[in-house]
């Protein structure tokens, strides 16, 4: 595989908490790989009801030879392969610098199973743009109906 020259992924994680120290060091607390939802009662549905899961994320990139303005798109994909609502954030690299994105991705979960969040680098704008998949983050969704 040819080397793109950067940027390169240092950290890409879904997690509960992100702590950034005064000196810039980052701590990622409780990496999220799965989420479960349960319903209790006499008439709970067999199929999982849709719900919103606001998941914090951290994407930390080192520039390599990349310089200038780009965007990072987080593209969730459900277990059936259907693209969900994406989030796109602008980033910028200078000589020898990196870029860190922190935020919350509001996932609209409608299906059980393995979801993927593609981390995509967008170079350029409009018709003159290119996209590069940097990495993928898995999120497994489970539903537990509990009849009482």
* pLDDT tens-digit readout, 59-95: 999 998 999 999 999 999 999 999 999 999 999 998 8
Residue 1: its pLDDT value, please?
A: 64
Phi, psi (5° rounding) for residue 127? Answer: -70, -20
- Whole-number Å distance between alpha carbons of 3 and 98: 18
Sequence-ordered list of residues with C-beta below 8 angstroms from that of 100, at least 6 positions apart, any chain: 26, 58, 59, 60, 61
Domain ranges of the chain: 8-147
Return the CATH architecture of domain 8-147. Sandwich (2.60)
Residue 54: its pLDDT value, please?
A: 95
Residue 95: its pLDDT value, please?
A: 80
With a cut of 70, which residues of the chain have pLDDT below it?
1
Sequence-ordered list of residues with C-beta below 8 angstroms from that of 21, at least 6 positions apart, any chain: 27
Residue 96: its pLDDT value, please?
A: 74
- Whole-number Å distance between alpha carbons of 65 and 11: 18
Q: What is the pTM of this model?
A: 0.90
On whether the CB atoms of residues 131 and 25 are closer than 8 A, the answer is no
On whether the CB atoms of residues 99 and 93 are closer than 8 A, the answer is yes
Q: What are the DSSP calls for 23-85, one per residue?
A: TS-EEEEEE-SEEEEEEEETT--SSPPPEEEEEEEEEEEE-TT--EEEEEEEEEE-TTS-B--
Residue 39: its pLDDT value, please?
A: 87
Please measure the distance between the N-terminal and C-terminal CA atoms of the chain and give it in whole angstroms.
Answer: 55
- Whole-number Å distance between alpha carbons of 133 and 119: 6
Residue 131: its pLDDT value, please?
A: 93
């Amino acid at each position: 595989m040819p080397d793109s020259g950067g940027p390169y992924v240092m950290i890409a994680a879904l997690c509960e908490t992100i702590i950034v120290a005064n000196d810039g060091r980052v701590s990622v607390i409780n990496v999220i790989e799965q989420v479960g939802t349960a319903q209790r009662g006499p008439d709970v549905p067999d199929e999982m009801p849709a719900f919103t899961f606001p998941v914090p994320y951290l994407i930390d990139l080192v520039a390599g030879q990349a310089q200038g303005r780009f965007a990072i798109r987080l593209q969730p994909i459900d277990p059936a392969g259907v693209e969900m609502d994406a989030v796109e954030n602008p980033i910028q690299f200078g000589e020898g610098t990196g870029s860190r994105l922190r935020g919350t991705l509001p996932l609209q979960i409608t299906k059980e199973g393995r979801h993927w969040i593609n981390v995509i680098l967008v170079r350029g704008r409009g018709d003159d743009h290119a996209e590069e998949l940097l990495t993928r983050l898995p999120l497994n969704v489970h539903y537990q109906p509990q009849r009482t």
